[in-house]
Amino acid sequence: MKEGTLKKLREIHERYLKLTEKLTQAEVIADASLYAETAKAQAEIAETAQTFESYLVSAKRLADAEEALKTEADGEMRRLLQEEIQCCRESAQQLEEQLKIALLPKDKNDDRNCIMEIRAGAGGEEAALFAYELFRMYLNYCERHRLKVEEVDRNETELGGLKEIVLNVSGKGAYKQLKFESGVHRVQRVPETESQGRVHTSTATVAVLPEAEDVEVEIRDEDVRVDVYRSSGAGGQKVNKTETAIRLTHFPTGIVVTCQDERSQLKNKDKAFRVLRSRLYDYYSSRNQSEYDKQRKSLVGRGDRSERIRTYNFPQGRVTDHRIGLSLFSIDSFMLGEIDAMIEALAVAERENQLAGEE
């Protein structure tokens, strides 16, 4: 392991020990807020510090076994020492890889809730139907991972497709679990309305934005126009006869947000401002990182959203992610929300890319 990496790990381990000792002090225990703050700081580095302790133990055992092998002439004892060396070397290498990953810069947005926007792209009604299927796929995935999904806005077609749907996804690591889904999703299949059996290609776009906090994005009253109007619906009881829908227009950026999911005007307004805040956070963050992105384009999850990221080929039963070249031949279960294998592969690829950049 490089000396610079060892130095960082020693500093983290020393801080961990100090925080652990601090948690036993009477004045800290007596102060609930100070104790909670200290415990949180300790918990954030505990796994890294404990892994480093295990690494030091393995490295010490390896060094001792190698030293003993230099003076050991007995055949059986040499064999045992060689096995010990091999075992310790493998353990140390595995722990070293874990520590390298632990030291990688953390995405500050990973623990946030997120806004997910799904829109029909090229392909008319077939694209809208595909957008609806993507919505159901993500809804099933979120339910399996205990993430709460709230609709903010929905624009349907007469055949049950979605022109657009905006969702607020909340729960532990919501953004971390869904951030790789941003981009253009392409579907290849025979639509139900196709009489000749020809395969059509349609697209839908997905955008996943970290939910911004109030203190991170300043929204001045004079920069936003708030319009109130009647919600649209499919007819019957779904038609809203009162003005509860909200449209926000942000003048400096031209961003427009609508919300008509709730029957309450105040609730719709609150949801709309949450979406606006997240879109502004993404807008200004993208501007700040534009020069960085020109210099180095990350392998996963940082590409332009206009680029195709994934193809769903129904005739072949295949889902292919073009960013990492991974194909899964389980499209039926994938569309039911079993997308963990793809998301994990994308996360691994991102870590490998980060590690390559550190070398």
pLDDT digits (tens, 9 = 90+) for 262-307: 678 888 888 899 899 998 988 888 766 554 444 334 433 443 344 6
Long-range contacts, 295-298 (Cβ 8 Å, 24+): 296/357, 298/350, 298/353
pLDDT confidence bin for 355, thresholds 50/70/90? confident
Which residues have C-beta within 8 Å of that of residue 328, sequence separation ≥ 6? Answer: 318, 319, 320, 334, 341, 342
Beta strand residue intervals within the chain, DSSP E: 114-120, 148-156, 162-170, 183-189, 200-210, 224-229, 245-250, 255-259, 308-313, 318-321, 326-328
The pLDDT value given to residue 77:
86
- For residue 308, which of 202, 208, 198 has the smallest C-alpha distance? 202
**The two structure tokens encoding residue 342:** 């793809």
What interhelical angle do 32-71 and 75-102 show, nearest 10?
150
Strands laid side by side in the 326-328 sheet = 148-156, 162-170, 114-120, 200-210, 183-189, 308-313, 318-321, 326-328
Type of residue at 151? E
Pick 243 or 242 by higher pLDDT: 243
CA–CA dist 260, 229 (Å, integer): 9
Residue 296 confidence (pLDDT): 38
At residue 195, the pLDDT reads 66
Residue entry with tokens 């949450």: 274
129-205-354 Cα angle (round to 5): 140
Determine the residue type at 337.
G
**Top-confidence residue, 104 or 324:** 324
DSSP state for residue 30 in the 8-state scheme: H
Residue in 207, 229, 227 with CA at minimum distance from that of residue 275: 207
The Cα 321–Cα 332 span in angstroms is: 16
- Percent above pLDDT 70 for the chain: 88
114 strand-pairing partners:
169, 210
For residue 220, what are its two tokens? Answer: 């001045």
Q: Which residue has the higher pLDDT, 216 or 100?
A: 100
Distance CA 184, CA 50 (A): 41
Contact 162, 195 (CB under 8 A): no
Residue 272 to residue 331: CA distance in whole angstroms: 34
Nearest to 169 by CA among 145, 149, 199: 149
Q: Where does the pLDDT of residue 217 fall: very low under 50, low under 70, confident under 90, or very high at 90 and above? A: confident
